[in-house]
Structure 1
Amino acid sequence: MSTTPAASSPSSICTDSSIKVAGQEVAVRVYGKKPAGQVHPLVVHFHGGAFVSGDLDNGSAVASLLEAAGARVVSVAYPLSPFPQPLETSYAVLQWAYKQRTRLAGHGALVYLAGEEAGGNLAAGVALMARDQSHPPLAGQILLSPMLDPCVGTASLRAATGTATVCKWADGWFKFLSCTRDAEHPYAVPGAAQRLAGLPPSLVMVGSEDPMHDEALAYAARLEAAGLSVTRHVFNQAEQWPEALLQPGATACPCADEVQAQIRHFFEATRCRPPP
């Protein structure tokens, strides 16, 4: 694994690395200080970009907020499309991070998944994969404005796009789902998964005028109906979500302090919960 310092928000400590998983080289950016007699949450994070764009820099805002909330973060430069490669690569990085958890975050570190927009879809899909493989155990999933509905027809998304004839999320779904059968796969479209039992606790965050508002809260409701632990939070002052989440630097994210507080509370609520 090779490492180089990476540029991020002024308060972040991060290093770019290249790791080999599943026979391929994957770029990752690791945030936070190495533990010195302490244990931190370890978060595997996926950036947004509607499956058509996005990189480690676009993920720096959310990754920095996770770091500021007390976590060590492994942010992943996953292949953008088509399914299933992004999921398979992301799951392989999760397995790598779990094996490295003591070195990265301290003995007994709990492992979480997190993602915004398209990355939220990946986090939810990888959580399903980890459940079905019974490995690795997850302490929680953190979904910010997750992109979960390939029909792109919710009221919140229609309100956000208005009369526009081009929708980047529709284009992203078209590129991500290479055939119609992919849309029926729960790992590709976790929002439509029929079996949700066995997933870890979830934190779902959206903006009040967020295009992903309706699909994110619908998924939260389904998780809760399945008997799972769910924390949801709607930010009333979150302008230009989810685009603002993809801007480099945590200060570009609206409600940054509020987001950080929600993540910190979620870590506290789940740290004493035994892994599945």
Structure 2
Amino acid sequence: MSPSSQTRSATPTQLPPIADSRIDVGLAAPLNVRVYGTRSSGSPLVVHFHGGAFVSGSLDSGAAVANLLLGAGAVVMSVDYPLAPAHPFPAPVDAAYAALQWAYRKRAQLAGQGASVFVAGEEAGGNIAAAIALMARDRHAPRLAGQILLSAMLDPCLGTASVRRSEQGPAGCPLATGWCSYLREPANAEHPYAIPGRSLRLADLPPALLITAEDDPLRDETLAYARRLRAAGVPSAECVLPAPSAWPDALLNPAVTHDSWSEPVRTRIHEFLIANRAARPAGHEPASPGPL
């Protein structure tokens, strides 16, 4: 299935409006968010989290993936969550979950009546998205239609074959430094919200689309998570892009055009959104969602 004409029109020169704002989610400080797209009946809403190995990244660096999601037909709310080392686990996932709750309450205002809600993220943001999908299941809210994980950081051991073949494995590399700053305490490495890939209970999660690439150092852990989700009965699909992709670094650089993989990724996300936005989402409706 190809993206609709409306989706194809969302080119870099003809993007729908982008709005920055600050939202109060009950934390010590408001969160900065950026909304891509316009309210339209039937559009899915994707709550997106940028990459940066837990210690860097911003709404600007997340623009490359946010625009892919927009081009796939979604309204996107990208969240600037707190970063380690100043804010180690669980602060980033707590903030992300609070932002998801806020977006769910405001979904009709953001994306239109009947909007299904998805979560998405690249690299460290993929970890955050997977974690809050677990939280939403465990806390019975909000109802998620799906999760989209691109080159997700899911294994702090950095011992997979794809990592060993890359330059990302040795101590002192950005991924290792990011994990150490994020986890801070050894006990956090056992918490499923810190490392969703180690969760022992994956049943009843929303459908998942996991995207990686042949030359992605995070490929093996992404595919391993997809296999474990399927074994737990979660509808899951993976897409492995041909090399060279320069993932995950290329996902964090909105200034560079990536014609070799942008369109295939956009198409796969579009198909996933269409297939799952009408399905009954995982989780349960909040008992008291609050005013819109």
- What's the CA shift string for 1:100-123, capped at 9, x where partnerless? 000111111000000000000000
TM-score when normalising by structure 1: 0.93
Aligned to 1:50: 53
Supply the RMSD in Å over aligned alpha carbons.
Answer: 1.6
Between 155-164 and 119-128, report the one with greater CA deviation.
155-164
- Whether 1:85 and 2:91 are equivalent positions in the alignment is yes
SS in 2 for 1:161: coil
- Whether 1:16 and 2:25 are equivalent positions in the alignment is no
- Whether 1:101 and 2:107 are equivalent positions in the alignment is yes
Q: Which of 5, 15, 29 is matched with 2:34 structurally?
A: 29
Contact 1:9 1:248 (C-alpha < 8 Å) held by counterparts: no
SS in 2 for 1:251: coil
Q: Residue 253 of structure 1: CA displacement?
A: 6.8
Question: What amino acid is aligned across from residue 212 of structure 2 in structure 1?
Answer: V
Aligned to 1:240: 246
Q: Residue 271 of structure 1: CA displacement?
A: 2.0
CA 52–221 in structure 1, closer or farther in 2 if over 3 Å, else same: same
Question: What amino acid is aligned across from residue 240 of structure 2 in structure 1?
Answer: V
Question: What amino acid is aligned across from residue 273 of structure 2 in structure 1?
Answer: F
Aligned to 2:278: 272
Q: Distance in 1 between matches of 2:265 and 2:277?
A: 18
Contact 1:83 1:182 (C-alpha < 8 Å) held by counterparts: yes
SS in 2 for 1:147: coil
Q: Which of 163, 169, 178 is matched with 2:175 structurally?
A: 169
- What's the CA shift string for 1:201-253, capped at 9, x where partnerless? 00000011100000000000000000110010000045210000001257347
Number of residue-to-residue matches in the alignment: 267
Q: Distance in 1 between matches of 2:214 and 2:188?
A: 30
Aligned to 1:39: 42
SS in 2 for 1:160: coil
Unaligned runs of 5+ in 1: 1-7
Q: Distance in 2 between matches of 1:17 and 1:45?
A: 15
Q: Distance in 2 between matches of 1:186 and 1:164?
A: 24
Aligned to 1:222: 228
Aligned to 2:257: 251
Q: Residue 163 of structure 1: CA displacement?
A: 8.3
TM-score when normalising by structure 2: 0.88
Question: What amino acid is aligned across from residue 69 of structure 2 in structure 1?
Answer: L
Aligned to 1:3: none
Contact 1:156 1:214 (C-alpha < 8 Å) held by counterparts: yes
Unaligned runs of 5+ in 2: 1-10, 283-292
CA 117–266 in structure 1, closer or farther in 2 if over 3 Å, else same: same
Q: Distance in 1 between matches of 2:228 and 2:93?
A: 22
Aligned to 1:207: 213
Contact 2:44 2:111 (C-alpha < 8 Å) held by counterparts: yes
Question: What amino acid is aligned across from residue 272 of structure 1 in structure 2?
Answer: A
Q: Residue 10 of structure 1: CA displacement?
A: 3.8
Q: Residue 166 of structure 1: CA displacement?
A: 3.0
Contact 1:61 1:253 (C-alpha < 8 Å) held by counterparts: no
Contact 2:171 2:177 (C-alpha < 8 Å) held by counterparts: no
- Whether 1:71 and 2:74 are equivalent positions in the alignment is yes
- What's the CA shift string for 1:51-79, capped at 9, x where partnerless? 12110111000000100111000000001
SS in 2 for 1:176: helix
Between 138-147 and 233-242, report the one with greater CA deviation.
233-242
Contact 1:113 1:127 (C-alpha < 8 Å) held by counterparts: yes
CA 33–221 in structure 1, closer or farther in 2 if over 3 Å, else same: same
